[in-house]
Amino acid sequence: MVGTGFARSAQAPAFQVCEGAELVAVCSGRHENAVRTAEQFGIAHACESHEELLSLPEVSLVVVSAPPAHHRAITLAALAAGKHVICEKPMAMNAVEAREMVDSAASRPGQLAIIDHELRFNPTWRRMKELVDAGFLGELHHVSVVISSGFRHSAQRPWNWWSQRSAGGGLLGALGSHAIDAVRWLFGDIEAVCATIATMVPSRKDPVSGEQRPNETDDYCSFLLRFAPRDGRVSHGTVMLSALQASGGKNQITAAGTNGTLVMDGDETLIGAIGYNHQFEDMSLIDRARGISIVPDNIWARSFYHLARETVQALREERTEIAHAATFLDGLHCQQTIDAVRRSHEEERWIKVRSVSDPA
């Protein structure tokens, strides 16, 4: 594992209970964090750099959970070292970096390379995907995605890399990437976007110097989206991201079509209705990972457990493809959409999303 944030809170517990997997090495931007994580999980090697970690012959799979500014360099080095890779989202800092990562992975078909969009592995989200693919909605009319919480509301929250543009911080990359990937996975390619991005909390206190530092990254974003035409039909959507909800706030996906409606209400409650003005039925599934005490009881950690388990199983069977996993091409499309959202905000107009098949 490269990183000790989400890697320590969710990814390490998941791999620790995966049959056939062993946590053998960890490194971090601060070596003392790697040492603490190694002690907590009984990891043999607390490395001082990712280069040291990649030199270990017993390392076969590398989870890249460093801040986004480091994803490209570490991922390319891991692939060059012959390692399988799970790269945290957002994939890179921009589509140029992401395309380089795609090309590197494509030249090594014997190595697994996926993006950590763990919600694709959540049982209830998989159920929603199955219903959409089976035609529950009919022809899609529109989609609405809301991701709303208050984890950046307080101006007392200290300044760190999350507030630093050059490190890849900000809400659009952190949670917007999940929204974009979910929309594309469930409903199809996004053709164009029209966006607004904002920074509502202007500064935060540096925990080292004690001085106020500018908050360079977004804590609010919203955008309209247009799907690529399907059989001459164009569907639409909206995405709203906020980290500023003082009270309340939750995540929700609503999809309406010619035959029915599906709502992912909260993170793991799925309801659906067929026909006009019909009663909604609960279509949620129980997540068996809730019974694993070492895995934190939240959607991110439990979903990652399922991703980790399927990854380990694939590698033990010498497979480098996993059903529903976000590939590096998926990561590139997500990054292209993020880039288009940012450009739309800057130019105050609709921007077309470059297709993954387009030349660089």
Q: What is the pLDDT of residues 190-240, one digit of tens each?
A: 999 999 999 999 999 999 999 999 999 999 999 999 999 988 899 999 999
Whole-number pLDDT of residue 355: 59
Element (H, E) at 47: strand 45-47
Q: pLDDT tens digits for 231-244?
A: 889 999 999 999 99
For the cut 60, the answer to whether the pLDDT of residue 357 exceeds it is no
Strands 113-115 and 140-148, bridge-based pairing: unpaired
Least confident of 46-60, 123-137, 249-263, 344-358: 344-358
For the cut 70, the answer to whether the pLDDT of residue 360 exceeds it is no
SS3 assignment, position 329: helix
How far from chain centre, in Å, is Cα 309?
18
* Maximum separation of any 2 CA atoms in the chain, in Å: 61
Element (H, E) at 109: none
C-alpha radius of gyration, the chain, whole number:
20
Least confident of 7-21, 240-254, 343-357: 343-357
Q: pLDDT tens digits for 47-72?
A: 999 999 999 999 999 999 999 999 99
Return mean pLDDT, the chain: 96
Rounded Cα gap, residues 61 and 309, in angstroms: 13
Q: pLDDT tens digits for 257-307?
A: 999 999 999 989 999 999 988 999 999 999 999 989 999 999 999 999 999
Which domains are assigned to the chain?
6-119+302-325 (3.40.50.720), 123-284+334-346 (3.30.360.10)
Which one, of 199, 226, 225, 192, lies nearest residue 214 by Cα? 199
Ramachandran quadrant class, 188 (left: phi over 0; alpha: psi -120 to 50; beta: rest): left
> Contact 267/253 with Cβ under 8 angstroms?
no
Whole-number pLDDT of residue 277: 85
Rounded Cα gap, residues 340 and 269, in angstroms: 31
